[in-house]
Structure 1
Amino acid sequence: MLKKSAVFIICAGLTCQPVFASRLVENALVTQAGQELDSAKALLIKTVNINSGTMNFAGVKKVGEILRDEYDALGFKTEWVDGSEFNRAGHLVATYESKTHPKGQKLLLIGHLDTVFAKNDSFQQTKEINSEHIAGPGISDMKGGNVIMLAAIKSLKAQGMLQRLNIKVVLTGDEESSGRPLAKSKKALIDAAIWADVALGFEDADGDIQTAVTARRGAATWQVSTSGNAAHSSQIFTDKVGDGAIFEMARILQAFRLQLADLPLLSFNPGVIAGGTRVDQSNGGDDVSAFGKTNVVAQNATVKGGLRAASTEQLIQAQKIMQNIVGQHLAQTNATFSFDEGYPPMKETKGNKSLLAQYSQVSVDLGYGPVTAVNPRNAGAADISFTAGHVKMAIDGLGLMGKGGHTKDEVADMTTFKQNIEKTAVLMYRLSNP
């Protein structure tokens, strides 16, 4: 329930009536959210117990079908966006267009159906640890968030408030490993963002219910390949043989570290590397192997890594620095550099900060305390980043909190389940009264 102090308002004449009526509606939404809790928990466990690793297309679709039935029952128009063009299962899009408020606030709610746990992973089922904690693959990242948004919508529907809003729910099937090209795999999400006024993301952010995300760093991948002259190691550094591919790679990585490490909020990481006489790559460069000898100068080397930047401008700046470093070669060596498309940055905007303030006020009014912005350094890339520049305001991190995400120790804090259903329902109601 809303704190009692929230309804003690100094007023004159009839000016208090609309405010008091809103408080009554919000109290009813909180009560309704409590009534949705048991069925929401059952749905959460049901979907978590279905493996939906990104490349398990059948599992992703099965989770999507379950949630599609739920939205169909609420009167949403649902569509399964086939993912064959971008080598993924696809996405679920559910749309609710108000007949009574066609010009009402347009909300985009974002989740994802897939998890990082493959079909053959040993971590497959939920386990209730105690009354407040449940372990399970993808329970907080992010099947809990999927259920929270659904339960909030059900609460609004039950209290006759859903028709005040226009809503698109986009549940992607490839958030953990995006299909390519991104222009196709993210089209449904971007189209929904262009339509919407406000975007709400239901990831678990940094796992702290007292925070939400107003800015996310963009994420991209990069690769460097170097080459040199194969020769007996006794001839290394001579004019004819030069320095070899591995020393050239060492020069490049060290220069990356020195010139990029101090850029605010930027991070880069060489994730996989190999060098020798022969280098073999597969799986887009994620799997590498090398053959060489200690008495032979390395002929080839390759490294693949990731980079996260706070803005598009910073991403371009980093790319130019890296390209310039790669272009300066040691003796008798060569190097190539490539930068792959990835997640765009979600820049903090006045709109995002305003939306966070509204969400924080909801939390305070419900007695849960204020919500502050996550440091972008602590928030990974997520689908909401693709809404940047298309919506007036956006926040993420409204989902089920927990710890151990992306590991076999993933555990959800179920005390945050009820809280965030309530907070989402009340926030959506308040957004219907801009």
Structure 2
Amino acid sequence: MRILIPALLCAAVFASPAAAQLSAPEQAIVASVEADYETDVALLERITLINSGSHNHAGVKAVAEALVPEFEALGFTTEWIDQSAAGRAGHLFARHEGAPGSTKMLLIGHLDTVFEPDSPFTGFVREGDTAVGPGILDDKGGVVVILSALRAMKAAGTLDDANIVVALTGDEEDAGDPLEVARRDLIEAGQWADVAIGFEALSILDGKDTGVVARRSSGSWTLTTSARSGHSSGIFAEGVGYGAIYEMARILDAFRRELPEENLTYNVGFMAGGTPAEIGEDGLSATTTGKTNIIPSTAVARGDLRALTQEQNERTAAKMRAIVAEHLPGTEAEIAIEFRYPPMAPTAGNDALLGRLNAINADLGLEVMAPYPPSRRGAADISFVAPYVDGLAGMGPSGSGSHAAGESIDLRSMVRQAQRAAILMSRLAKVSSSE
């Protein structure tokens, strides 16, 4: 179900800075978030010091166990959803039942990071209002923003009527397989909800906060070419052909020339060619052998595919298959394309949610948040629920260096993001899903 927020609201907010003043409960929210700043930083430090790489199942669960008391103290019921069937640790869901008929809200974050136990990047180092640590921005800071916002709502009395499900996945950085199992519970929550809010990092553009109303998909492709082998002196000759590497080069160059369009990218991650060449069992490496005087029998390549809509995904995939089907003499080729993370396509409902947030920005004395270009954001879990519900992403804190040693967070950004989120949820809680 989609909550019916007038699409014209967004345009109205952008057109006029005039807005109602903060209510007394909303003023209490602002003060509460500010007062709990050091408490939030302490929680962030505690969970950042727990290694929770996607494949460190014990660590992911330990982060969840550290968060359970935080949610239960706010009146949420919690559930650990085991994901051993998908090869991952599991997900933490927290649920709050509010007034019947009020807006049903799904808050999305994740417990895992890209830093596995063997990573040399560890610890938590704070210097003033900046801190460095693995996953501190992506997405442990986002999880803290969720809790900070909910705690402020509780203190202000606006949480009571709110119907909320918090979904913290344990494998966002490397989703389990089969994906139908790994994302089943999240999708069911999206089908229940009226609104979804994603708490991955805030996007900054030209020094200003922005809103994320669309994100591109994330898929992958595997290309294999094969050819007759033989002495290199016969290459190009009739009955011999061009070899597997030339066929690979033909295809990849045709991708480069023929596929470009707005919001579409298709990277080649790695490749190998020789006699033979093959992709490793991990799907992240390739091996090959060969000689300069032998026509290569095999070439392999893997890459990704990112698009703004599912239609763009499917149309591009059809073009790629057509290019692959045009073989050089003496060669064969095949491509396998897998769509993993779907796109969060732009919608009027998503724009209207950003309009509501900008009304709050006006009340808080903050600048208008423009939509962030979707081509600059990667895929995220909110995309799995995008077909069912209006959504707003990028509601986590700001920082830099995600997925790399030195990942950092602007700690003060947690304050304004929690204030925005708490007021937004408080206002949404008053909106009937039947309106």
TM-score, structure 1 length as denominator?
A: 0.92
Instruction: Please tell me whether the aligned partners of residues 205 and 379 of structure 1 are also in contact (alpha carbons under 8 angstroms).
Output: no
SS at match of 1:285: coil
Gaps spanning 5+ residues in structure 2: where? 1-18
Aligned-residue RMSD, C-alpha:
1.4
Is the deviation greater in 199-208 or in 51-60?
Answer: 199-208
Counterpart for residue 212 of structure 2: 213
**Cα separation, partners in 2 of 1:164 and 1:56, compared to 1, 3 Å:** same
Counterpart for residue 30 of structure 2: 30
CA distance in 1, matches of 2:30, 2:64: 27
Give 1:281 shift: 2.2
Counterpart for residue 274 of structure 1: 272
CA distance in 1, matches of 2:200, 2:144: 11
Counterpart for residue 191 of structure 1: 188
Spell out the pairing of 1:90-109 with structure 2 (5 A cutoff). Answer: 90-98=90-98, 101-109=99-107
CA deviations 1:219-257 (Å, max 9, x no partner) are: 110011000111111110111211000000000000011
Aligned to 1:399, which of 388, 396, 400? 396
CA distance in 1, matches of 2:202, 2:116: 22
Counterpart for residue 243 of structure 1: 242
Instruction: Please tell me whether the aligned partners of residues 20 and 363 of structure 2 are also in contact (alpha carbons under 8 angstroms).
Output: no
Counterpart for residue 11 of structure 2: none
Give 1:364 shift: 2.3
Counterpart for residue 388 of structure 1: 386
CA deviations 1:114-140 (Å, max 9, x no partner) are: 011111100011111x21211111111
State the AA in 2 paired with 1:257.
Answer: R
Higher relative contact order, structure no. (Cα contacts within 8 Å, ≥ 6 residues apart): 2
CA deviations 1:290-349 (Å, max 9, x no partner) are: 111111110000000001011111101000000000111001100111011311111111
State the AA in 2 paired with 1:370.
Answer: V
Give 1:205 shift: 4.5
> Structure 1 residue 143 and structure 2 residue 158: aligned?
no
CA deviations 1:362-389 (Å, max 9, x no partner) are: 1221122111111001111000001112
Percent of counterpart pairs with the same letter? 42
Instruction: Please tell me whether the aligned partners of residues 50 and 124 of structure 1 are also in contact (alpha carbons under 8 angstroms).
Output: no
> Structure 1 residue 233 and structure 2 residue 232: aligned?
yes
Spell out the pairing of 1:318-357 with structure 2 (5 A cutoff). Answer: 318-357=316-355
CA deviations 1:75-127 (Å, max 9, x no partner) are: 211111101111111100111112xx122111000000001111110001111
**Cα separation, partners in 2 of 1:303 and 1:291, compared to 1, 3 Å:** same
CA distance in 2, matches of 1:60, 1:67: 11
Give 1:20 shift: 8.5
CA distance in 1, matches of 2:166, 2:101: 18
CA distance in 2, matches of 1:171, 1:330: 49
TM-score, structure 2 length as denominator?
A: 0.92
Counterpart for residue 171 of structure 1: 168
State the AA in 2 paired with 1:170.
Answer: A
Number of residue pairs aligned between Structure 1 and Structure 2: 411
Spell out the pairing of 1:120-135 with structure 2 (5 A cutoff). Answer: 120-128=118-126, 130-135=127-132
> Structure 1 residue 374 and structure 2 residue 359: aligned?
no
Instruction: Please tell me whether the aligned partners of residues 278 and 299 of structure 2 are also in contact (alpha carbons under 8 angstroms).
Output: no
Gaps spanning 5+ residues in structure 1: where? 1-18
Instruction: Please tell me whether the aligned partners of residues 21 and 363 of structure 2 are also in contact (alpha carbons under 8 angstroms).
Output: no
CA distance in 2, matches of 1:241, 1:87: 45
CA distance in 2, matches of 1:277, 1:287: 16
State the AA in 1 paired with 2:189.
Answer: A
Give 1:280 shift: 3.0
Counterpart for residue 7 of structure 1: none
Give 1:278 shift: 1.3
Give 1:159 shift: 1.7
SS at match of 1:171: strand
Instruction: Please tell me whether the aligned partners of residues 224 and 299 of structure 2 are also in contact (alpha carbons under 8 angstroms).
Output: yes
CA deviations 1:368-426 (Å, max 9, x no partner) are: 211111100111100000111211x2100010110111111211111211111111111
Instruction: Please tell me whether the aligned partners of residues 268 and 305 of structure 1 are also in contact (alpha carbons under 8 angstroms).
Output: yes
Counterpart for residue 12 of structure 1: none
